[in-house]
Structure 1
Amino acid sequence: MVLKLYGAPLPIGTTLAVLMTLVEKQIPFEMVTVDLQNDAHKAPEYLAVQPFGQVPAIDDDGFIIYESRAICRYLAEKYAHQGTPLIPTELQAKARFEQAASIEFANFQPFAWALYVEGIRKARKGLQKDQAAWDVAEQQLSAKLDIYEAILGSQQFLAGDEFTLADLFHVSFGDLLAPAGCDLLTSKGPNVARWWNAIRSRASYTRFQGAVEISNIEAY
């Protein structure tokens, strides 16, 4: 039975992170789109898969798991011997990977999420942007990316010189920053810009970008 990915109709956000992982690991899959705008994620049949009514989720021959980071880790470890190695196995390299993954979760995602909410999600719901909240989140993310700039001055990626899930996880909300109106990933400094361009240049990323336009994201 081919793996099923339940995800957003557009390859963006956390759905994109899982799609990239599937491609990096060369895993065949069937895409099952969940129509969020028409509340398909709240239907009883979908809640049986993802009880919180969110995307993405996967069904791997009857094994169901949700939350994008958990899905990506599961896929990277199950298919460790094919495709791109996304989680190091050597002890110290793995420790650096776990450190980098924690950096993304604690020092990037909260501020990128806040900017997405103010720049895209509120507009989608017909709500007014809170400029003060935007400014605070942008300042906080800018300060965090100053540290990224320093780290990436001595290594290619966040966990070292090899691409890992710690880098890939950034696409979930990093990819929504520019459509939201924040250019920090390209303007903060040369090291951050180089790193972000390296992520977005991967075949696992470019494969899906023809399906996404800014106008669609803003209406999503």
Structure 2
Amino acid sequence: MAIKVYGSDFSIGTYRVLLCLAEKDIDFELITVHLASGEHKKPHMLARNPFGQIPAFEDGDIKLFESRAIAQYISRAYVDKGTCLINMDPKKAAVEAVWMEAEAHQFDRATTALMWELCMKRFLFGQSGDEDVVNAEEKKLVCVLDVYEARLSESKYLGGDSFSLADLFHTPMIKFLMGTQMKCVFDTRPHVSAWVADILSRLACVKVFGMPVY
């Protein structure tokens, strides 16, 4: 039975799952959920994600939601396929886990409003972002990236010397922000800039962001 991903091109979480599947070279069926019509709140989607959000995921008899949990499942269930995205050494795995948590609790919080103001408002409504909000959120991002710059001066990737879920979880948000004025915030930090160039040039990233998700 084919893996099914229920998602949308307006969803950072959907892209996290697609990137993980691409890194693992796993075939899947993408089922588009139409957010504008409120499909994600309909009974058939609430049965897959009771919070009425996307993505949702099915692999045979296992049904999951929350993109980071889905990616961790894929990485463990298909550990022998494609790119190894999790470390089996407990100490190295713990370091990766720290930076996965940093993405969820530091980076994501610093960038979600920027994504809305600089990308989604323009794309969905043809509106410019609120400058006051953008300036306030940019300050938060600066603080986070200062920490990342220090970390990446010590290792090539956030979790260590090899690409992992700690890096992958950041990729969709970074991809979108690179098309905004926030690009300079990343570019002015040499280690962060090199890391961004590396993760965005990965074959999985090129494949996912080159494929239509409509």
TM-score (norm 1): 0.88
Q: Which residue of 1 aligns with 2:82?
A: 83
- d(CA) in 2 for partners of 1:184 and 1:116? 15
Q: Secondary structure at the match of 1:105?
A: helix
Which residue pairs with 2:101 in the alignment? 102
Give the count of matched residue pairs.
Answer: 213
| Partner in structure 2 of residue 131 of structure 1 | 131
Contact 1:15 1:172 in 2 (8 A): no
Deviations 1:165-219 (A, max 9, x none): 000000232222133432146423111111011111111100122346xxx9xxx
Counterparts of 2:157 and 2:117, CA distance in 1: 29
Contact 1:185 1:196 in 2 (8 A): no
Residue correspondence of structure 1 range 58-207 to structure 2 within 5 A: 58-123=57-122, 124-125=124-125, 129-184=129-184, 186-207=186-207
One-letter amino acid matched to 2:112: W
1:154 match: secondary structure: coil
Percent sequence identity is 35
Note if contact 1:65-1:71 (Cα within 8 Å) is conserved in structure 2.
yes
- 3-state SS of paired residue (2:63): strand
The TM-score, its normalising length taken from structure 2, stands at 0.91
Residue in 1 that maps onto 2:20? 21
Structure 1 residue 11 displacement after superposition: 7.8
CA deviation map 1:87-120 (0-9, x unaligned): 1010110111111111111221101101112223
Q: CA RMSD in A?
A: 2.1
1:158, CA displacement in angstroms? 0.1
* Stretch moving more, 68-77 or 123-132: 123-132
- CA contact 1:146–1:188 (8 Å) conserved in 2: no
After superposing on structure 2, the runs of 4+ consecutive aligned residues of structure 1 that deviate more than 4 Å are: 125-128
Cα distance change, pair 201–126 in 1 and its aligned pair in 2 (3 A)? closer
Q: Which runs of 5+ in 2 are unaligned?
A: none
Partner of 1:31: 30
Unaligned runs of 5+ residues in structure 1 are none
